[in-house]
Structure 1
């Protein structure tokens, strides 16, 4: 019984860590934990509670000596995404994402340690079936208005972490922190690519197409065979609310420090390494080609290759001009350009198919730029039990317009936040946060206008043991 319970608990933690999310700074959330989120996403130089395991592990050193604390949280993200091109329009039906979190932290002397699980971020859209935006395309030979599959068009990327942080109070003023993270990434994708785009990528425009399956397709094209290709469809998905169809696992590290310059001033910084993930794989995928010879679905394995979470550097300051006021400011740099230059997939056909054992390597250019985020937050202790919080963050858009894909519209930039913390009693506290990302628009290389806004919230409960 003990072994079965332990295995069930581990499975639950893995699922919590991988819950899909639609993030707001590229693929990152604007803040982790209700306190950080309410204060504009700051968190480098003050106590953000157990969420320090994601923000800056060194701030765990602010915990009271001898204390143990458990935490539970839930976060809701509500993106509003719309498309318009040539008089056609559509909205994404993926408007609600919910992400739980759990944590346990303890301080023994100079050392604070624990474990935490949360969803770090991701992306997701759902345009359903028979969407007017994806109903027709242009064939490989340039014939306009050819029919696409008429099936669901959607995407979902989720990245979560199970973290094991530790902080060491080197002196009364300086604390060092680190965290070893188990990273879980998953993906669903249902995408039609019309023949014109497929041919362009075969020619090296916007990406590339290679492998033995490409060679076979080219050999089939000609009089009496395939004379035109309407579209290629990539399809791997499931109905799980926790994890996508293609899954990969890996690790990451975090390092941090804080230093009390004076009673009123604390500075802090952290560095999150780039992850080391395995390919995201599933053996239950379908690749379909529609041509003048009909539609031929091929079953097989898909590998999403070289998908990683970027390195991140953050630094900040916390000012305490009085016992009632705190002002915090952070700057964060996210190295998207290293990990989001290309989206790479390899499809390997099953032995039972006409392309037995052959592979198709597909690369789509993304060319994401590095992102800088400036955050500011204010906290006012209205009473001994109630703290009121507000903040804002301002960032660049990492996604170039030319390569913006309607399935991955991670273009929101600024956020305006508020929230509160309330101490129910000496052992229990609750906190809440609300965030609004105003609507932004971008026009991609296909002249599709993509707009995106978000309203998000978070709730957290902590209890001292």
Structure 2
């Protein structure tokens, strides 16, 4: 217990960071795998012992751990490679190429029950384009997104009999978001003109006042850009934040001495609106005879209705002999119910600098229309020696995002992964596990003619101590 007390303070510090670290995920906004044991085996995890990552995979597998108690400390490194090329052939590379994701898990068995605590980054999206790239629209506007979702998870597992374990978790969730998004005048007018609105819509008193102002200006007045900005630049916390809860249930069943079956359901989240109090909304007009006229409004931005989807998963694990383990999972992620649109509401403050716009609102919606996603995962582990275990696998999934609505600030299109890794036992109590994932590059062209490519290399490292 002395060793446990010495490890907990740094573990909890890492855990707190993992709640807010921005992520770039690869199954929609989900990660391709959680924990290096599962990830190295193609992301499979639903029917075999994969450590305390079980709390975010299938909590029932915690009941399979051989030891009485276990502590896991993990660090993930995510390396996205994202490029957006406009119709003229000019490319802009995302400058966010490395994210660091700590995780923590502890589980303990007491009789027929196993309980514990885990903190994991669930997933998200993120990229950043230089202000001088074409995404800056020629006006030096930086474009940036960071979306992150984390969970503090409390599991409880019941060993019903020698074959069956059932489990449930209570999940506290924390979501954060940064957004710097420049829209051209054409894109902005698509939102505000009821006769257009192919990619979204905007309404509210700010739109009405803006339209009235445009009517008073000389003929030929155009909009150079509109710019949404809520971002604190902090690598660990988004400017807009929300909190909520979710839960999971799961079971594992030992069908034969060689074959184990797993089943889990993750509920849809219940998050509050993500709120940023220091947000800004800017637009610039080009008025004949007067030149550029810029206006920046300050106030509060709310991201409305952002939720994490439900997931249903089933898996099996087969041991043909004492050295080999083969596993397969299938998952259905219900993105369609939570990613139909991306909605924001901006409320201008009463500051004098906001002029006649003070107190007014703009509600903006960007259409997403994501589909539900099917994910297939296959992996194997080979115990080469008493200390060394080799793991490998792969995964394939459908792309949930319709090409038309793919936004270069929200890329989440990778469909195929190849994984490998290993586990090394120092002794009966201590071990280390490692995984490496290659996400094969996918290129898509959206409704604006922008071609977006997204590839990724990820790695995870975990130290485990058994009691």
- The residue that corresponds to 1:159 in the other structure is 149
**Pairs within 5 Å for 1:414-453:** 414-453=416-455
SS in 2 for 1:129: coil
Tell me the CA shift for residue 306 of structure 1.
0.3
1:266-311 Cα distance to aligned partner (Å, 9 max, x none): 0001000000000010110110010135010000000000000000
Match of 2:290 in 1: none
Whole-angstrom CA distance in 1 between matches of 2:29 and 2:123: 5
Corresponding position of 1:53: 55
- In the TM superposition, 1:19-418 aligns within 5 A as 19-64=21-66, 67-85=68-86, 86-132=88-134, 134-136=135-137, 147=138, 149-202=139-192, 203=194, 204-224=197-217, 227-292=221-286, 294-352=293-351, 353-354=354-355, 355-418=357-420
> For 1:316, what is the secondary structure of its paired residue?
strand
Unaligned runs of 5+ in 2: 1-7, 288-292
**Distance (Å, rounded) in 1 between the aligned partners of 2:210 and 2:449:** 30
Tell me the number of residue pairs that the alignment of Structure 1 and Structure 2 aligns.
447
- Kindly report the root-mean-square deviation, in angstroms, between the aligned alpha carbons of the 2 structures: 1.6
What TM-score do the two structures reach when normalised by structure 1? 0.93
CA distance in 2, matches of 1:54, 1:306: 23
Q: CA deviation at 1:385?
A: 1.3
Distance 1:278 1:96, change over 3 A: same
2:29–2:123: 8 Å Cα contact kept in structure 1?
A: yes
Query: 1:356 and 1:391, CA in 2 relative to 1: closer, same or farther beyond 3 A?
Result: same
The answer on whether the counterparts of 1:14 and 1:184 sit within 8 Å (CA) in structure 2 is no
Q: 1:12/1:50 Cα in 2 relative to 1: closer, same or farther (>3 Å)?
A: closer
Q: CA deviation at 1:242?
A: 1.1
Partner of 2:181, secondary structure, is: strand
- Shift in Å at residue 167 of structure 1? 0.7
Moved beyond 2 Å, runs of 4+:
6-16, 223-228
TM-score (norm 2): 0.93
Q: Aligned equivalents of 1:282 and 1:190: distance in 2?
A: 13
